Amino acid sequence: MSTVPERAEIDEQHKWALGSIFESDDAWAEHFETVSGRIEEFEAYEGRVTESPETLLELLELREEIMREVAQLSVYANLRSSEDTRNQEYQALSGKAEALSSEASSATSYIEPEIQELTEDDIDAFIEEEPALAEYEHFFDDVLRGKPHTRSTEVEELLAELGEVTSSPSEIYSMLSNADMEFPTVEDPDGEDIEISQANFTTLQKHENRAFRQRVHEAYYDEWETVRNTVGTSLKKQVRKDVKVARARNYETAREAALDGPNVPVEVYDTLVETVHDNLDSLHRHAEIKRDALGVDDLQMWDLYTSITGEEGPDVEYEQAKEWIIEAVEPLGESYRDRLAEGLDSRWVDVYENRGKRSGAFSSGTYDTQPFILMNYQDDISSMFTLAHELGHSMHSELAQEAQPWHDASYEIFVAEVASTVNETLLTQHLLETVDDDELRLHVLDEYLERFRSTLYRQTMFAEFEQRIHERAENDEPLTPDVFDELYGGLKSDYYEPAVIDDRIHREWQRIPHFYYNFYVYQYATGISAAVAIVDGILGDSATDAVDESAAADYREMLAAGGSVYPIEALELAGIDMTSADPIESALGVYDTYLDRIDELR
């Protein structure tokens, strides 16, 4: 029987180096007590934030000093918790860190409301008197921009204190899906029992045996059916929380509130959905190509993830994936490539799945730490692309933190998903042009088409679903598992018209953790659109063309900008205008081109 190993069975070289943050849990606990005792230092400044430029600067520097320490405590605890979500000791550690973070947010909640008592002219005068405040110009602009949606000091403090409570739906869902749910085993074509997990489900759906794929699909979604009411309730509460917090901040809708945070116009969201809807025929064509290639009368939901060849792709071991990714990012410059390579050798990555480990993948870290990447590597092409994706996030953080002060280093997800997808696109180009293996090249092309489908189309479909369920909450209409099924199933039917939409896929919304991230998913779709345009500018029409060093430098400038400019402005540094439909239409054109290419090769 194939089973998922315990954490202790994983080789140390394939685990992230959390000792670089704190050498032990005891060291974390000692530091926690020190930092916790410093939170009260903020009390001395309440009501005095703008009494003088010197006082304001002093407070901002204190905030940075303490918050950087809080961030390190939080990241260490959260990463330990992610290693094994069953470990109650680390769950408690994570809970303590979250409480401390909430306490620190509450203790500093008066800062922005008091700054908002100033005008732009007041800020200019402060900077003239205390030039060190010039470093905070973008921060001041962002604070003043939020004035219409900032409440009194008392309300802001209450909202900050409630942060630990309002995150409950997401935390409950995470514990249920990662720690408590146990998926069944299914027998593979060789008679071996395979344990389904959150991490390997998609991989199993790529198996060449169609009957096995169907068994996995049915067993997996039948297990979700057993927790239908719990997941439905957690999602309903998440949506209603989004709506109530938005109203508390004087926004008309939760979507408006979510997009106003990074200063992204709502029209960007609408343009994405409208443009993708106008091009559903390309997605339908992809489904038809897959159906014909597989030689089946009906394309079923358990066929969607399979290779267009009808066979599983070749194995790609972790060491080989590292080598190819390092080679692929070379057009971004020698310094970028070398730093990425060094990171892979410095245990940035927690590589393999273990029992209880959080599913999926992410990049984490703080201003004062190295990046940390969680993977559940499965020795396949998909895992290689996911590694390239997360390394894009990590390198973005490295460049931004090197170039920007702490308060300007953190960037918005809107640009983060560009950085990750640029790496995926470069990897595709590199492998298609350099690897002398037709089977691998065909699977790489198929993988990239699948990522296009799942990133541009699927995430836009998710964005539509998210918008519709929030609209229902805003109109005081009921949100039940049946409603979620109906809305999701309808969208699935629109997007995948040539395929058979079975009853089980209607409940796919249950397995999507991003619905707890408050209008997050659309940024994957805008991200791939911008990324394709950036890579096209760097490489030209073919990877054999000379690299445009100027375009590569512009892209690195965008990464290094971090949060010192708003996301739309950051992309403009790389020559991308996301307020128009042009990048989306350009990406869809590339999708069509690759469909032509794979139709010719198969």
Q: State the residue range of the domain holding 94.
A: 7-166
Q: Say if residues 538 and 547 touch (Cβ distance below 8 Å).
A: yes
Domain edge (last residue) among 110, 134, 166:
166
Opening angle at CA 375, ends 347 and 204, nearest 5 = 145
Q: Which residues are paired to 363 by β-bridges?
A: 373
Q: Is it the case that residue 294 has pLDDT exceeding 80?
A: yes
Query: Pick the catalytic residue: 114, 390, 398, 450?
Result: 390
pLDDT given at position 545: 63
- The pair of structure tokens assigned to 175 is 């514990």
172-187 pLDDT, tens per residue?
Answer: 999 999 889 999 999 9
Q: Quick count: other Cβ atoms within 10 Å of Cβ 363?
A: 23
Whether residue 319 is contained in a domain is answered as yes
pLDDT given at position 541: 56
- The CA distance from 109 to 290, in Å, is 53
The backbone torsions φ and ψ at residue 196, rounded to the nearest 5 degrees and listed phi first, read -75, 140
Q: Is it the case that residue 13 has pLDDT exceeding 50?
A: yes
Do 294 and 421 fall within a single domain?
Answer: yes
Cα dihedral 216, 5, 374, 526, rounded to 10, equals: -10
Do 230 and 151 fall within a single domain?
Answer: no
Question: Residue 289 carries which side chain, given as an amino acid letter?
Answer: I
Q: Quick count: other Cβ atoms within 10 Å of Cβ 572?
A: 16
- The pair of structure tokens assigned to 356 is 């209880």
Which CATH number covers residue 249? 1.10.1370.20
Whether residue 39 is contained in a domain is answered as yes
- The pair of structure tokens assigned to 406 is 């702490």
pLDDT given at position 34: 98
The backbone torsions φ and ψ at residue 194, rounded to the nearest 5 degrees and listed phi first, read -115, 125
Mean pLDDT along residues 506-528: 95
Q: Quick one: which H or E segment has residue 413?
A: helix 413-434
Do 153 and 183 fall within a single domain?
Answer: no
Do 121 and 177 fall within a single domain?
Answer: no
Q: Say if residues 75 and 21 touch (Cβ distance below 8 Å).
A: yes
- The CA distance from 540 to 549, in Å, is 11
Q: What's the distance, Cα to Cα, between the start and end of the chain in Å?
A: 35
Q: Is it the case that residue 115 has pLDDT exceeding 80?
A: yes
Q: Is it the case that residue 441 has pLDDT exceeding 80?
A: yes
- The CA distance from 451 to 445, in Å, is 10
Do 249 and 148 fall within a single domain?
Answer: no
- The CA distance from 374 to 512, in Å, is 18
DSSP H helices, 10-135, are 25-36, 53-83, 88-107, 111-115, 120-129
pLDDT given at position 2: 59
Do 151 and 24 fall within a single domain?
Answer: yes
- The CA distance from 116 to 249, in Å, is 15
DSSP codes of every residue in 497-557? TTB---GGGGGGGGG-GGGGSSS-THHHHHHHHHHHHHHHHHHTTSTTSPP-HHHHHHHHH
Closest CA to 22 of 59, 73, 57, 82: 73
Whether residue 51 is contained in a domain is answered as yes
Cα dihedral 320, 323, 327, 329, rounded to 10, equals: 100
Residue 218 a catalytic site member: no
Distance set, CA 13 to CA 35, 313, 337, 407 (Å)? 31, 26, 21, 33
Do 146 and 209 fall within a single domain?
Answer: no
- The pair of structure tokens assigned to 550 is 């100027």
- The pair of structure tokens assigned to 375 is 């993977």
Average pLDDT, the chain: 94
In the sheet with 362-364, reading across from the earlier edge strand, the strands are: 349-352, 372-377, 362-364
Report the helix count and the strand count for the chain, using DSSP H and E.
Answer: 27, 5
Do 276 and 173 fall within a single domain?
Answer: yes
Rounded to 10 deg, the angle between the 318-328 and 381-403 helix axes is 50
468-516 pLDDT, tens per residue?
Answer: 999 999 999 999 999 999 999 999 999 999 999 999 999 999 999 999 9
Q: Say if residues 376 and 26 touch (Cβ distance below 8 Å).
A: no
171's CB contacts (< 8 A; 6+ apart) are none
Mode of pairing for the β-strands spanning 349-352 and 362-364? unpaired
- The CA distance from 434 to 84, in Å, is 39
Whether residue 373 is contained in a domain is answered as no
Closest CA to 534 of 415, 452, 373, 388: 415
- The CA distance from 180 to 64, in Å, is 38
Whether residue 29 is contained in a domain is answered as yes
Mean pLDDT along residues 329-340: 98
Do 193 and 136 fall within a single domain?
Answer: no
Q: Is it the case that residue 543 has pLDDT exceeding 50?
A: no
Domain edge (last residue) among 166, 185, 219:
166
Which CATH number covers residue 148? 1.20.140.70
Question: Residue 266 carries which side chain, given as an amino acid letter?
Answer: V
Whether residue 263 is contained in a domain is answered as yes
- The pair of structure tokens assigned to 277 is 């809807």
Q: What is the pTM of this model?
A: 0.85
Q: For residue 373, give the 3-state DSSP assignment.
A: strand
34-60 pLDDT, tens per residue?
Answer: 999 999 999 999 999 999 999 999 999
- The CA distance from 354 to 370, in Å, is 23
pLDDT given at position 349: 98
Domain edge (last residue) among 166, 196, 223:
166
347-402 pLDDT, tens per residue?
Answer: 999 999 999 999 889 999 999 999 999 999 999 998 999 999 999 999 999 999 99
Question: Residue 298 carries which side chain, given as an amino acid letter?
Answer: D
Lowest mean pLDDT among 131-135, 149-153, 374-378, 558-562: 149-153
Mode of pairing for the β-strands spanning 372-377 and 362-364? antiparallel
Whether residue 499 is contained in a domain is answered as yes
Do 143 and 182 fall within a single domain?
Answer: no
Whether residue 309 is contained in a domain is answered as yes
Please tell me the total count of domains within the chain.
Answer: 2
Do 576 and 454 fall within a single domain?
Answer: yes
pLDDT given at position 544: 52
Do 154 and 189 fall within a single domain?
Answer: no
